[in-house]
Amino acid sequence: MTQLIYVPDDAAALSVGAEDVAQAIAAEIARRGLDAKLIRTGSRGLLWLEPLVEFASPKGRIGYGSVNVADVPALFEDPAHSGSLGLVEEIPYLKNQQRLTFARCGITDPLSLQEYESHGGLKGLRRALEMTGTDIIEQVVDSGLRGRGGAGFPTGIKWRTVAAAMAEQKYIVCNADEGDSGTFADRMLMEGDPFLLIEGMIIAGIAVGATKGFVYIRSEYPHAIAKMNRAIAIAREDGVLGSAVLGGGKCFDMEIRIGAGAYICGEETSLLESLEGRRGQVRPKPPLPAIEGLFGKPTVINNVLSLAAVPTILAEGAAFYRDFGMGRSRGTMPVQLAGNVRRGGLIERAFGLSLREIIEEYGGGTASGRPVRAVQVGGPLGSYWPSHLFDTPFDYETFAEKSGMIGHGGVVVFDDTVNMAKQARFALEFCAIESCGKCTPCRIGSTRGAETLDKIMQGENVAGNTALVRDLCEVLRDGSLCALGGLTPMPVLSALDHFPEDFAGKTLAAAE
Protein backbone atom coordinates (compact mmCIF):
# COMPACT_ATOMS: atom_id res chain seq x y z
CA MET A 1 0.00 0.00 0.00
CA THR A 2 1.21 3.48 -0.77
CA GLN A 3 2.60 5.23 2.28
CA LEU A 4 1.15 8.74 2.45
CA ILE A 5 3.36 11.43 3.97
CA TYR A 6 2.14 14.93 4.73
CA VAL A 7 4.21 18.12 4.97
CA PRO A 8 2.59 21.57 5.25
CA ASP A 9 3.24 24.28 2.71
CA ASP A 10 1.76 26.91 5.00
CA ALA A 11 3.86 30.08 5.18
CA ALA A 12 4.67 29.61 8.88
CA ALA A 13 5.87 26.06 8.28
CA LEU A 14 7.90 27.23 5.28
CA SER A 15 9.45 29.98 7.41
CA VAL A 16 11.15 27.34 9.54
CA GLY A 17 12.27 25.07 6.71
CA ALA A 18 9.29 22.95 5.59
CA GLU A 19 10.23 23.25 1.91
CA ASP A 20 13.71 21.80 2.46
CA VAL A 21 12.22 19.04 4.57
CA ALA A 22 9.66 18.21 1.87
CA GLN A 23 12.40 18.04 -0.74
CA ALA A 24 14.51 15.83 1.48
CA ILE A 25 11.55 13.50 1.98
CA ALA A 26 10.90 13.32 -1.77
CA ALA A 27 14.58 12.54 -2.34
CA GLU A 28 14.53 9.88 0.36
CA ILE A 29 11.46 8.24 -1.16
CA ALA A 30 13.22 8.13 -4.54
CA ARG A 31 16.52 6.91 -3.09
CA ARG A 32 14.86 4.05 -1.25
CA GLY A 33 12.49 3.30 -4.14
CA LEU A 34 9.53 3.37 -1.77
CA ASP A 35 5.89 3.19 -2.67
CA ALA A 36 5.15 6.48 -0.95
CA LYS A 37 3.51 9.75 -1.83
CA LEU A 38 4.24 13.20 -0.44
CA ILE A 39 1.20 15.44 0.01
CA ARG A 40 1.39 19.14 0.86
CA THR A 41 -1.28 20.39 3.24
CA GLY A 42 -2.06 23.52 5.20
CA SER A 43 -0.91 23.75 8.80
CA ARG A 44 -2.60 22.07 11.76
CA GLY A 45 -1.89 25.25 13.68
CA LEU A 46 0.47 23.50 16.11
CA LEU A 47 2.99 26.07 15.05
CA TRP A 48 5.69 25.41 17.63
CA LEU A 49 5.98 21.92 16.11
CA GLU A 50 6.56 23.13 12.56
CA PRO A 51 7.75 21.68 10.32
CA LEU A 52 5.32 18.94 11.39
CA VAL A 53 5.65 15.83 9.23
CA GLU A 54 2.86 13.27 9.33
CA PHE A 55 2.85 9.62 8.25
CA ALA A 56 -0.46 7.92 7.51
CA SER A 57 -1.07 4.77 9.55
CA PRO A 58 -4.08 2.50 10.04
CA LYS A 59 -4.77 4.21 13.38
CA GLY A 60 -4.44 7.75 12.03
CA ARG A 61 -1.65 10.14 11.17
CA ILE A 62 1.53 9.93 13.18
CA GLY A 63 3.44 13.16 13.63
CA TYR A 64 7.07 14.17 13.91
CA GLY A 65 7.64 17.66 15.24
CA SER A 66 10.20 20.35 14.38
CA VAL A 67 11.76 18.14 11.72
CA ASN A 68 14.86 19.39 9.97
CA VAL A 69 16.56 18.03 6.88
CA ALA A 70 19.09 16.03 8.88
CA ASP A 71 16.25 14.20 10.69
CA VAL A 72 14.62 12.96 7.49
CA PRO A 73 16.43 9.63 6.91
CA ALA A 74 15.68 8.60 10.50
CA LEU A 75 11.94 9.05 9.88
CA PHE A 76 12.17 6.21 7.38
CA GLU A 77 14.05 3.98 9.80
CA ASP A 78 11.49 4.25 12.56
CA PRO A 79 8.86 1.60 11.75
CA ALA A 80 7.56 1.61 15.34
CA HIS A 81 7.41 5.44 15.24
CA SER A 82 9.28 5.57 18.53
CA GLY A 83 10.65 9.04 17.82
CA SER A 84 7.24 10.43 17.00
CA LEU A 85 4.70 12.57 18.82
CA GLY A 86 2.18 9.76 18.38
CA LEU A 87 -1.16 10.32 16.74
CA VAL A 88 -1.47 13.98 15.80
CA GLU A 89 -5.17 14.02 16.62
CA GLU A 90 -4.34 12.91 20.17
CA ILE A 91 -1.96 15.80 20.88
CA PRO A 92 -3.86 17.57 23.70
CA TYR A 93 -3.43 21.01 22.10
CA LEU A 94 -5.35 19.76 19.06
CA LYS A 95 -7.57 17.20 20.75
CA ASN A 96 -8.99 19.82 23.11
CA GLN A 97 -10.26 22.02 20.31
CA GLN A 98 -13.60 22.40 18.59
CA ARG A 99 -12.65 22.77 14.98
CA LEU A 100 -15.52 23.92 12.80
CA THR A 101 -13.90 26.53 10.57
CA PHE A 102 -10.50 24.85 10.66
CA ALA A 103 -11.87 21.31 10.44
CA ARG A 104 -9.97 20.50 7.24
CA CYS A 105 -6.94 22.73 7.68
CA GLY A 106 -3.75 20.66 7.79
CA ILE A 107 -5.59 17.51 6.80
CA THR A 108 -6.52 17.92 3.15
CA ASP A 109 -4.65 19.07 0.08
CA PRO A 110 -5.86 22.70 -0.02
CA LEU A 111 -6.20 22.69 -3.81
CA SER A 112 -8.07 19.43 -4.20
CA LEU A 113 -11.73 20.17 -4.72
CA GLN A 114 -12.44 16.43 -4.56
CA GLU A 115 -10.91 16.18 -1.09
CA TYR A 116 -12.69 19.33 -0.05
CA GLU A 117 -15.98 17.75 -0.98
CA SER A 118 -15.23 14.35 0.52
CA HIS A 119 -14.44 16.11 3.82
CA GLY A 120 -17.79 17.90 3.99
CA GLY A 121 -17.15 20.83 1.67
CA LEU A 122 -19.88 22.29 -0.59
CA LYS A 123 -22.60 20.83 1.60
CA GLY A 124 -23.55 24.30 2.85
CA LEU A 125 -23.58 25.73 -0.67
CA ARG A 126 -25.78 22.91 -1.96
CA ARG A 127 -28.22 23.59 0.87
CA ALA A 128 -28.13 27.31 0.14
CA LEU A 129 -28.92 26.72 -3.53
CA GLU A 130 -32.19 25.11 -2.47
CA MET A 131 -33.15 28.03 -0.23
CA THR A 132 -34.39 31.57 -0.76
CA GLY A 133 -32.03 34.44 0.01
CA THR A 134 -34.21 35.43 2.96
CA ASP A 135 -34.03 31.93 4.45
CA ILE A 136 -30.26 31.84 4.12
CA ILE A 137 -29.98 35.19 5.88
CA GLU A 138 -32.30 34.07 8.67
CA GLN A 139 -30.09 31.02 9.23
CA VAL A 140 -27.06 33.28 9.57
CA VAL A 141 -28.95 35.65 11.91
CA ASP A 142 -30.17 32.72 14.02
CA SER A 143 -26.69 31.25 14.28
CA GLY A 144 -25.61 34.33 16.23
CA LEU A 145 -22.53 34.75 14.04
CA ARG A 146 -20.79 38.09 14.67
CA GLY A 147 -18.10 39.76 12.63
CA ARG A 148 -14.78 38.08 13.33
CA GLY A 149 -12.74 41.01 12.06
CA GLY A 150 -13.01 42.66 15.44
CA ALA A 151 -16.14 44.77 15.60
CA GLY A 152 -18.44 41.84 16.37
CA PHE A 153 -21.40 43.19 14.42
CA PRO A 154 -24.02 40.51 13.68
CA THR A 155 -23.21 39.17 10.21
CA GLY A 156 -26.79 38.27 9.32
CA ILE A 157 -28.07 41.78 10.08
CA LYS A 158 -25.48 43.24 7.72
CA TRP A 159 -26.59 40.81 5.03
CA ARG A 160 -30.24 41.73 5.60
CA THR A 161 -29.48 45.39 4.94
CA VAL A 162 -27.70 44.59 1.69
CA ALA A 163 -30.45 42.21 0.59
CA ALA A 164 -33.07 44.92 1.16
CA ALA A 165 -31.13 47.53 -0.82
CA MET A 166 -32.25 47.89 -4.42
CA ALA A 167 -29.48 47.97 -7.00
CA GLU A 168 -28.50 46.42 -10.32
CA GLN A 169 -25.13 45.40 -8.94
CA LYS A 170 -24.15 44.37 -5.41
CA TYR A 171 -20.81 43.15 -4.14
CA ILE A 172 -19.35 40.76 -1.59
CA VAL A 173 -16.01 42.01 -0.31
CA CYS A 174 -13.87 39.82 1.88
CA ASN A 175 -11.57 41.70 4.20
CA ALA A 176 -8.35 39.68 4.22
CA ASP A 177 -6.18 42.62 5.25
CA GLU A 178 -5.21 40.82 8.44
CA GLY A 179 -2.81 43.41 9.80
CA ASP A 180 -3.10 42.91 13.56
CA SER A 181 0.06 41.70 15.18
CA GLY A 182 -0.51 38.30 16.74
CA THR A 183 -3.09 37.20 14.19
CA PHE A 184 -2.70 34.71 11.38
CA ALA A 185 -5.98 32.79 11.22
CA ASP A 186 -7.10 34.38 7.94
CA ARG A 187 -3.75 33.57 6.40
CA MET A 188 -3.81 29.97 7.63
CA LEU A 189 -7.34 29.47 6.34
CA MET A 190 -6.67 30.95 2.90
CA GLU A 191 -3.55 28.80 2.57
CA GLY A 192 -4.96 25.66 4.17
CA ASP A 193 -8.59 25.55 3.03
CA PRO A 194 -9.21 28.22 0.38
CA PHE A 195 -12.36 26.61 -1.00
CA LEU A 196 -14.10 27.23 2.33
CA LEU A 197 -13.77 30.98 1.91
CA ILE A 198 -14.89 30.72 -1.71
CA GLU A 199 -17.92 28.70 -0.62
CA GLY A 200 -18.79 31.23 2.08
CA MET A 201 -18.57 34.10 -0.39
CA ILE A 202 -20.81 32.36 -2.91
CA ILE A 203 -23.42 31.71 -0.21
CA ALA A 204 -23.25 35.39 0.79
CA GLY A 205 -23.71 36.36 -2.84
CA ILE A 206 -26.74 34.13 -3.28
CA ALA A 207 -28.24 35.40 -0.02
CA VAL A 208 -28.07 39.10 -0.84
CA GLY A 209 -28.22 38.98 -4.63
CA ALA A 210 -24.60 39.85 -5.37
CA THR A 211 -22.84 38.30 -8.34
CA LYS A 212 -19.33 39.59 -7.85
CA GLY A 213 -16.85 39.18 -5.03
CA PHE A 214 -13.46 40.61 -4.19
CA VAL A 215 -10.97 39.32 -1.66
CA TYR A 216 -8.65 42.10 -0.53
CA ILE A 217 -5.50 40.35 0.70
CA ARG A 218 -2.55 42.19 2.20
CA SER A 219 0.63 42.10 0.15
CA GLU A 220 2.52 40.70 3.16
CA TYR A 221 0.73 37.39 2.48
CA PRO A 222 2.20 36.21 -0.86
CA HIS A 223 1.52 32.53 -0.13
CA ALA A 224 -2.15 33.18 0.64
CA ILE A 225 -2.49 35.28 -2.52
CA ALA A 226 -1.03 32.49 -4.66
CA LYS A 227 -3.21 29.81 -3.04
CA MET A 228 -6.40 31.82 -3.36
CA ASN A 229 -5.70 32.65 -7.00
CA ARG A 230 -5.18 28.99 -7.83
CA ALA A 231 -8.23 27.90 -5.85
CA ILE A 232 -10.42 30.43 -7.67
CA ALA A 233 -9.14 29.19 -11.03
CA ILE A 234 -9.92 25.58 -10.04
CA ALA A 235 -13.37 26.51 -8.70
CA ARG A 236 -14.10 28.32 -11.94
CA GLU A 237 -12.94 25.38 -14.07
CA ASP A 238 -15.07 22.95 -12.08
CA GLY A 239 -18.19 25.08 -12.26
CA VAL A 240 -18.29 26.08 -8.60
CA LEU A 241 -17.79 29.69 -9.63
CA GLY A 242 -19.14 31.24 -12.79
CA SER A 243 -22.37 31.82 -14.63
CA ALA A 244 -23.98 28.64 -13.29
CA VAL A 245 -22.86 27.88 -9.73
CA LEU A 246 -22.77 24.07 -9.40
CA GLY A 247 -24.74 23.87 -12.62
CA GLY A 248 -27.72 25.76 -11.18
CA GLY A 249 -29.27 29.09 -12.01
CA LYS A 250 -27.09 31.26 -9.78
CA CYS A 251 -24.15 33.26 -10.96
CA PHE A 252 -21.13 34.30 -8.89
CA ASP A 253 -17.53 35.09 -9.66
CA MET A 254 -14.71 36.60 -7.68
CA GLU A 255 -11.20 37.96 -7.88
CA ILE A 256 -8.26 38.69 -5.64
CA ARG A 257 -6.99 42.20 -5.03
CA ILE A 258 -3.74 42.94 -3.30
CA GLY A 259 -3.16 45.57 -0.64
CA ALA A 260 -0.08 47.73 -0.66
CA GLY A 261 1.19 47.77 2.89
CA ALA A 262 -1.30 50.06 4.62
CA TYR A 263 -2.67 48.83 7.97
CA ILE A 264 -5.58 51.25 7.73
CA CYS A 265 -6.96 49.36 4.73
CA GLY A 266 -8.27 46.76 7.20
CA GLU A 267 -10.83 49.40 8.12
CA GLU A 268 -13.76 48.62 5.87
CA THR A 269 -14.37 52.01 4.25
CA SER A 270 -10.67 52.56 3.73
CA LEU A 271 -10.48 49.11 2.13
CA LEU A 272 -13.24 50.12 -0.29
CA GLU A 273 -11.37 53.29 -1.24
CA SER A 274 -8.28 51.20 -1.87
CA LEU A 275 -10.21 48.69 -3.99
CA GLU A 276 -11.50 51.57 -6.07
CA GLY A 277 -7.92 52.69 -6.68
CA ARG A 278 -7.57 55.59 -4.29
CA ARG A 279 -5.64 56.47 -1.17
CA GLY A 280 -6.91 54.26 1.62
CA GLN A 281 -8.62 57.07 3.48
CA VAL A 282 -11.53 56.40 5.77
CA ARG A 283 -15.02 57.39 4.60
CA PRO A 284 -17.42 58.94 7.07
CA LYS A 285 -20.45 56.77 7.89
CA PRO A 286 -23.30 57.04 7.00
CA PRO A 287 -23.78 56.01 4.31
CA LEU A 288 -23.11 52.46 5.46
CA PRO A 289 -21.24 50.26 2.98
CA ALA A 290 -24.28 47.99 3.06
CA ILE A 291 -26.18 50.79 1.32
CA GLU A 292 -23.42 52.60 -0.59
CA GLY A 293 -20.27 50.51 -0.60
CA LEU A 294 -17.91 49.49 -3.38
CA PHE A 295 -18.34 51.77 -6.42
CA GLY A 296 -21.36 53.20 -4.59
CA LYS A 297 -23.22 49.88 -4.66
CA PRO A 298 -24.66 47.89 -1.74
CA THR A 299 -21.80 45.81 -0.39
CA VAL A 300 -21.34 43.08 2.19
CA ILE A 301 -17.90 43.45 3.77
CA ASN A 302 -17.00 40.56 6.03
CA ASN A 303 -13.81 39.22 7.51
CA VAL A 304 -12.37 35.92 6.21
CA LEU A 305 -13.40 34.03 9.35
CA SER A 306 -16.99 35.34 9.27
CA LEU A 307 -17.46 34.19 5.68
CA ALA A 308 -15.68 30.91 6.37
CA ALA A 309 -18.07 30.16 9.25
CA VAL A 310 -21.10 30.39 6.96
CA PRO A 311 -20.79 27.04 5.10
CA THR A 312 -20.86 25.19 8.45
CA ILE A 313 -23.94 27.14 9.54
CA LEU A 314 -25.75 26.27 6.32
CA ALA A 315 -24.60 22.65 6.32
CA GLU A 316 -25.32 21.87 9.97
CA GLY A 317 -28.02 24.41 10.72
CA ALA A 318 -28.10 27.62 12.76
CA ALA A 319 -28.83 25.79 16.02
CA PHE A 320 -25.73 23.61 15.69
CA TYR A 321 -23.49 26.65 15.45
CA ARG A 322 -25.37 28.65 18.09
CA ASP A 323 -25.00 25.83 20.60
CA PHE A 324 -21.32 26.65 20.91
CA GLY A 325 -20.32 29.69 22.93
CA MET A 326 -21.50 31.85 25.81
CA GLY A 327 -23.73 34.89 26.27
CA ARG A 328 -24.08 36.81 23.03
CA SER A 329 -20.86 35.33 21.63
CA ARG A 330 -22.00 32.30 19.70
CA GLY A 331 -20.07 29.67 17.82
CA THR A 332 -16.33 29.13 17.87
CA MET A 333 -13.44 31.59 17.82
CA PRO A 334 -10.10 30.74 16.27
CA VAL A 335 -7.78 32.18 18.91
CA GLN A 336 -4.23 32.86 17.77
CA LEU A 337 -1.61 32.47 20.44
CA ALA A 338 1.64 34.26 19.69
CA GLY A 339 4.62 36.23 20.88
CA ASN A 340 6.73 35.06 23.79
CA VAL A 341 4.97 31.75 24.32
CA ARG A 342 6.23 28.18 24.45
CA ARG A 343 3.50 26.64 22.30
CA GLY A 344 2.15 29.22 19.90
CA GLY A 345 -0.54 28.30 17.44
CA LEU A 346 -4.18 28.33 16.50
CA ILE A 347 -6.82 27.28 19.02
CA GLU A 348 -10.37 27.05 17.74
CA ARG A 349 -12.75 26.73 20.66
CA ALA A 350 -16.24 27.82 21.60
CA PHE A 351 -16.34 31.28 23.17
CA GLY A 352 -15.95 31.20 26.93
CA LEU A 353 -12.45 29.77 27.17
CA SER A 354 -10.45 31.76 29.73
CA LEU A 355 -7.33 33.67 28.88
CA ARG A 356 -5.49 31.67 31.55
CA GLU A 357 -6.35 28.37 29.88
CA ILE A 358 -5.09 29.79 26.60
CA ILE A 359 -1.82 31.10 27.97
CA GLU A 360 -1.00 28.43 30.52
CA GLU A 361 -2.64 25.20 29.41
CA TYR A 362 -2.31 25.58 25.67
CA GLY A 363 0.65 27.95 25.62
CA GLY A 364 2.66 26.43 28.46
CA GLY A 365 3.93 29.82 29.60
CA THR A 366 6.60 31.92 27.95
CA ALA A 367 9.17 30.79 25.40
CA SER A 368 11.86 32.50 27.44
CA GLY A 369 10.87 30.56 30.57
CA ARG A 370 10.42 33.83 32.49
CA PRO A 371 7.13 34.82 34.16
CA VAL A 372 4.32 36.20 31.99
CA ARG A 373 3.94 39.90 32.74
CA ALA A 374 1.38 41.08 30.20
CA VAL A 375 -0.74 39.94 27.30
CA GLN A 376 -2.17 42.04 24.55
CA VAL A 377 -5.43 40.69 23.20
CA GLY A 378 -7.03 41.95 20.00
CA GLY A 379 -4.10 43.30 18.02
CA PRO A 380 -2.17 46.57 18.25
CA LEU A 381 -5.33 48.41 19.34
CA GLY A 382 -6.11 45.95 22.12
CA SER A 383 -5.50 46.38 25.82
CA TYR A 384 -2.46 45.14 27.73
CA TRP A 385 -3.59 43.02 30.63
CA PRO A 386 -1.78 41.79 33.74
CA SER A 387 -2.24 38.32 35.20
CA HIS A 388 -5.08 39.23 37.56
CA LEU A 389 -7.34 39.58 34.51
CA PHE A 390 -6.39 36.22 33.00
CA ASP A 391 -9.53 34.51 34.30
CA THR A 392 -11.63 36.59 31.92
CA PRO A 393 -13.53 34.34 29.51
CA PHE A 394 -13.11 34.92 25.78
CA ASP A 395 -16.37 36.75 25.06
CA TYR A 396 -17.07 40.07 23.36
CA GLU A 397 -19.09 41.56 26.24
CA THR A 398 -16.98 40.35 29.16
CA PHE A 399 -13.85 41.72 27.54
CA ALA A 400 -15.56 45.05 26.86
CA GLU A 401 -16.68 45.31 30.51
CA LYS A 402 -13.02 45.18 31.52
CA SER A 403 -11.98 47.78 28.94
CA GLY A 404 -10.55 45.16 26.63
CA MET A 405 -11.53 43.64 23.31
CA ILE A 406 -11.08 40.29 21.66
CA GLY A 407 -10.75 41.88 18.23
CA HIS A 408 -9.67 39.33 15.64
CA GLY A 409 -8.61 36.88 18.36
CA GLY A 410 -4.89 37.50 18.63
CA VAL A 411 -3.22 36.90 22.01
CA VAL A 412 0.36 38.17 22.31
CA VAL A 413 2.32 37.15 25.39
CA PHE A 414 5.13 39.21 26.96
CA ASP A 415 7.51 38.11 29.69
CA ASP A 416 8.72 40.23 32.61
CA THR A 417 11.42 41.98 30.58
CA VAL A 418 8.77 44.05 28.78
CA ASN A 419 8.73 47.78 29.41
CA MET A 420 5.12 48.89 29.27
CA ALA A 421 5.92 52.57 28.74
CA LYS A 422 7.75 51.55 25.58
CA GLN A 423 4.76 49.47 24.49
CA ALA A 424 2.43 52.43 25.09
CA ARG A 425 4.76 54.65 23.10
CA PHE A 426 4.85 52.09 20.30
CA ALA A 427 1.04 52.05 20.10
CA LEU A 428 1.07 55.79 19.43
CA GLU A 429 4.01 55.56 17.04
CA PHE A 430 2.23 52.82 15.10
CA CYS A 431 -0.90 54.98 14.93
CA ALA A 432 1.22 57.84 13.57
CA ILE A 433 2.83 55.62 10.92
CA GLU A 434 -0.44 54.06 9.81
CA SER A 435 -2.87 56.98 10.20
CA CYS A 436 -4.62 57.76 6.93
CA GLY A 437 -4.49 61.45 7.83
CA LYS A 438 -8.14 62.19 7.33
CA CYS A 439 -9.00 63.24 10.87
CA THR A 440 -6.93 65.47 13.13
CA PRO A 441 -7.00 63.57 16.45
CA CYS A 442 -5.43 60.52 14.86
CA ARG A 443 -3.06 62.31 12.47
CA ILE A 444 -1.65 64.84 14.95
CA GLY A 445 -2.58 63.29 18.28
CA SER A 446 -0.61 60.13 17.66
CA THR A 447 2.63 62.03 17.05
CA ARG A 448 2.12 64.39 19.99
CA GLY A 449 1.27 61.42 22.19
CA ALA A 450 4.48 59.61 21.29
CA GLU A 451 6.49 62.78 22.01
CA THR A 452 4.79 63.18 25.37
CA LEU A 453 5.56 59.59 26.29
CA ASP A 454 9.19 60.23 25.43
CA LYS A 455 9.15 63.01 28.00
CA ILE A 456 7.59 60.73 30.60
CA MET A 457 10.21 58.09 29.94
CA GLN A 458 12.92 60.70 30.37
CA GLY A 459 11.43 61.68 33.72
CA GLU A 460 10.26 65.11 32.58
CA ASN A 461 7.24 66.38 34.54
CA VAL A 462 5.89 62.84 34.82
CA ALA A 463 2.61 63.68 36.57
CA GLY A 464 1.77 66.59 34.26
CA ASN A 465 2.68 64.73 31.09
CA THR A 466 0.79 61.62 32.19
CA ALA A 467 -2.32 63.73 32.69
CA LEU A 468 -1.73 65.19 29.24
CA VAL A 469 -1.50 61.72 27.65
CA ARG A 470 -4.73 60.67 29.34
CA ASP A 471 -6.45 63.80 28.11
CA LEU A 472 -5.13 63.24 24.61
CA CYS A 473 -6.39 59.65 24.69
CA GLU A 474 -9.85 60.95 25.48
CA VAL A 475 -9.72 63.20 22.42
CA LEU A 476 -8.51 60.34 20.24
CA ARG A 477 -11.20 58.00 21.53
CA ASP A 478 -14.07 60.45 21.12
CA GLY A 479 -12.94 62.51 18.18
CA SER A 480 -11.47 60.05 15.67
CA LEU A 481 -13.29 59.01 12.55
CA CYS A 482 -12.49 55.31 12.79
CA ALA A 483 -11.17 52.59 15.07
CA LEU A 484 -7.47 53.31 14.46
CA GLY A 485 -7.54 56.63 16.28
CA GLY A 486 -10.50 55.60 18.40
CA LEU A 487 -8.87 52.50 19.85
CA THR A 488 -5.20 53.48 20.04
CA PRO A 489 -5.96 54.74 23.58
CA MET A 490 -6.70 51.14 24.65
CA PRO A 491 -3.12 49.88 24.70
CA VAL A 492 -1.91 53.24 26.04
CA LEU A 493 -4.42 53.60 28.88
CA SER A 494 -4.35 49.92 29.83
CA ALA A 495 -0.57 50.10 30.12
CA LEU A 496 -0.90 53.22 32.29
CA ASP A 497 -3.66 51.73 34.44
CA HIS A 498 -2.26 48.25 34.97
CA PHE A 499 1.47 48.93 34.91
CA PRO A 500 1.89 52.43 36.42
CA GLU A 501 5.30 51.50 37.84
CA ASP A 502 6.74 51.57 34.31
CA PHE A 503 5.74 55.21 33.87
CA ALA A 504 7.50 56.55 36.91
CA GLY A 505 10.16 58.19 34.77
CA LYS A 506 13.64 57.06 33.74
CA THR A 507 12.27 53.60 32.98
CA LEU A 508 13.93 53.54 29.61
CA ALA A 509 17.32 54.22 31.11
CA ALA A 510 16.73 51.66 33.85
CA ALA A 511 15.71 48.97 31.38
CA GLU A 512 18.75 49.42 29.20
Partner 1 sequence: MTTAIHKAPAAAWNPDPVREVAERLKGLDGPLLPILHAINEQFGYVDERALPIIADMLNLTRAEVQGVVSFYHDFRRAPAGRHVVKVCRAEACQSMGAERLIGELEKSFGVTLGETSTDGRVTLEAVYCLGNCALSPAALIDGKLFGRLDAAKAQAQVSK
Residues that bind partner 1 (CB under 8 A): 11-12, 14-16, 47-48, 50, 178-184, 186-187, 219-223, 225-226, 257-263, 274-281, 295, 336-341, 344-345, 367, 376, 380, 410, 412-415, 418, 423, 426, 430, 433-434, 436
Identity of the residue, 140 or 413, whose beta carbon is nearer to partner 1 in the bound complex: 413
Please state the closest distance from residue 146 (CB atom) to partner 1, in A. 23
DSSP label at residue 251: -
How many helices (H) does the chain have, and how many strands (E)?
22, 16
Determine the residue type at 337.
L
| DSSP string for 22-76 | HHHHHHHHHHHT-SEEEEEE---S-GGG-S-EEE--TTS-EEE-S--GGGHHHHT
Please state the closest distance from residue 188 (CB atom) to partner 1, in A. 8
SS3 338: strand
E strands along 271-344, which residues?
Answer: 299-303, 325-326, 329-330, 332-339
SS3 329: strand
Identity of the residue, 341 or 442, whose beta carbon is nearer to partner 1 in the bound complex: 341
Please state the closest distance from residue 376 (CB atom) to partner 1, in A. 6
Identity of the residue, 186 or 502, whose beta carbon is nearer to partner 1 in the bound complex: 186
Please state the closest distance from residue 139 (CB atom) to partner 1, in A. 30
Identity of the residue, 122 or 431, whose beta carbon is nearer to partner 1 in the bound complex: 431
What is the C-alpha to C-alpha distance for residues 174 and 179, in angstroms, rounded to an integer?
Answer: 14
Please state the closest distance from residue 68 (CB atom) to partner 1, in A. 12
Identity of the residue, 435 or 480, whose beta carbon is nearer to partner 1 in the bound complex: 435
Q: In what order do the strands lie in the sheet with 299-303?
A: 253-258, 212-217, 171-176, 299-303
8 A C-beta contact, residue 121 and residue 112: no
Identity of the residue, 113 or 347, whose beta carbon is nearer to partner 1 in the bound complex: 347
Please state the closest distance from residue 56 (CB atom) to partner 1, in A. 26
Burial state string for 202-227 with b = 16 or more CB within 10 A and e = fewer than 16: bbbbbbbbbbbbbbbbbeebebbbeb
8 A C-beta contact, residue 231 and residue 223: no
Identity of the residue, 184 or 394, whose beta carbon is nearer to partner 1 in the bound complex: 184
Please state the closest distance from residue 339 (CB atom) to partner 1, in A. 4
Interaxial angle between packed helices 222-237 and 194-208, expressed in degrees from 0 to 180 and rounded to the nearest 10: 60
